Amino acid sequence: MIVLKSQEEIDIMRESGKVTSYILSELSGFIKPGISTKDIDTFVEDIILKNNMIPSFKGYNGYPASACVSVNEEVVHGIPSSKRILYEGDIVSVDVGSTYKGYVSDAARTYPVGRISAEARELINSTEASFFEGLKFCKVGNRLSDISAAIQRKAESDGFSVVRDFVGHGIGRAMHEEPQIPNYGKPGRGPRLASGMVFAIEPMINQGGYEVEVLENNWTVVTIDKKLSAHYENTVVITDGEPELLTLFDAR
Ligand code: MF3
Ligand code: CO
């Protein structure tokens, strides 16, 4: 069952989304060569707590941190570590969730560390653009897989591949609600979109093949060919008009 949110619930999720969005926007100035992935987690957690919110990821199925920090061939769920130092030319995906009054917002971005290759920049740009292609179909009356198909079309037309094993999701009182939202598939399938649905849409796009595996720590997902991966996610409300992005504010 897809839970529809009331205006009051969306108002709470908007507050949560503002903090998540603010963190992601501040991270672009914080991420630089020499910091560790743990430094990113500390930065994220401090801002969530300062805003009297709860880090949604910490303790989720035993996850040990407030952010997922995934470097280069790491796709998602990288565990922050003081030993993992970022170097010039790396790319780093940061995924953040904040819970406010029981409601979760969830978003992710991929950042350059110093100067990066043109190929890495293209991957980041295409991943972000694929999200916005999907967003065009976030309208009442469309079918869920119209979003999926649009994301896949963009990423593959740019020469990249779409991760199959991890998908977007409904979001609200729980971080993961129905429906699952694959970033690939044929259009015209699945439930019709309705006002009050809230989705975390999150393309994970690979430079090489789409195959991934989970490391020994049982969390970190990596590409099997060790090529780069990028991630872009926002929490999106379906409305009678344009979709509302709860995690994309210019928060300064
Ligand atoms: N943002 C991730 C998702 O969309 C959640 C992180 S998994 C956690 O599924 F375990 F770290 F919380
Ligand atoms: Co998510």
Residue 191: pLDDT over 80:
yes
73 lines ligand 1 (CB under 6 A): no
| 177 in contact with ligand 1, CB cutoff 6 A | no
Q: Is residue 252 part of a domain?
A: no
**Percentage above 90 pLDDT, the chain:** 98
- Can you tell me the distance from the alpha carbon of 20 to that of 17, in angstroms, rounded to the nearest whole number? 5
pLDDT of residue 65: 98
Query: 1 in a domain, yes or no?
Result: no
Instruction: Please state, in angstroms and rounded to a whole number, the distance separating the CA atoms of residues 85 and 102.
Output: 34
- Supply 26's token pair: 């501040």
Residue 250 maps to a domain = no
How much distance in Å is there from the Cα of 209 to the middle of ligand 2? 22
pLDDT, one tens digit per residue, over 132-141 is 999 999 999 9
Query: Is the pLDDT score of 172 beyond 50?
Result: yes
Host domain of residue 96: 7-245
Closest CA to 214 of 81, 78, 90, 97: 78
Mutate to test the pocket of ligand 1, among 54, 93, 94, 106 (most ligand atoms within 8 A of CB): 106
- In angstroms, what is the C-alpha Rg of the chain? 17
Residue 2 falls inside a structural domain: no
State both tokens at 219.
């969390």
pTM as predicted:
0.98
pLDDT of residue 249: 84
If one counts every other C-beta atom within 10 angstroms of the C-beta of residue 173, the result is: 14
The structural domain count of the chain equals: 1
pLDDT band of 192, cuts 50, 70, 90: very high
Distance 73 CA to ligand 1 centre (A): 18
Give long-range contacts, CB 8 A cutoff, 24+ apart: 131-135: 131/201, 131/202, 131/203, 131/232, 131/233, 131/234, 134/183, 134/201, 134/203, 135/201, 135/236, 135/243, 135/245
pLDDT the model gives residue 145: 98
**pLDDT score, position 166:** 98
Model confidence at 250, pLDDT cuts 50, 70, 90, reads low
Q: What is the mean pLDDT of residues 168-185?
A: 98
Residues at Cβ < 5 Å from ligand 2 ion: 106, 200, 202
Predicted local distance difference test score (pLDDT) of residue 116: 98
Residue 201 counted as domain residue: yes
Q: Which atom of ligand 1 is nearest to the CA of 106?
A: 1
Q: Tell me if 95 CB under 6 Å of ligand 1.
A: yes
pLDDT tens-place string over residues 206-242: 999 999 999 999 999 999 999 999 999 999 999 999 9
Ligand 1 center from residue 58 Cα (angstroms): 10
- Assess whether pLDDT exceeds 60 at residue 75: yes
CA dihedral 247, 217, 165, 96 (to 10 degrees): 0
Tell me the pLDDT tens digit for each residue of 89-110: 999 999 999 999 999 999 999 9
Smallest CA separation from ligand 1 atom 11, residue: 57
- Indicate which CATH number applies to the domain containing 12: 3.90.230.10
What is d(CA 243, CA 42) in angstroms, rounded to the nearest whole number? 32
- Asked if residue 15 belongs to a domain, the reply is yes
Pocket test for ligand 1, best of 95, 105, 201 (most atoms within 8 A of CB): 95
**Mutation probe of ligand 1 site: the residue of 61, 68, 199 with most atoms within 8 A of C-beta:** 68
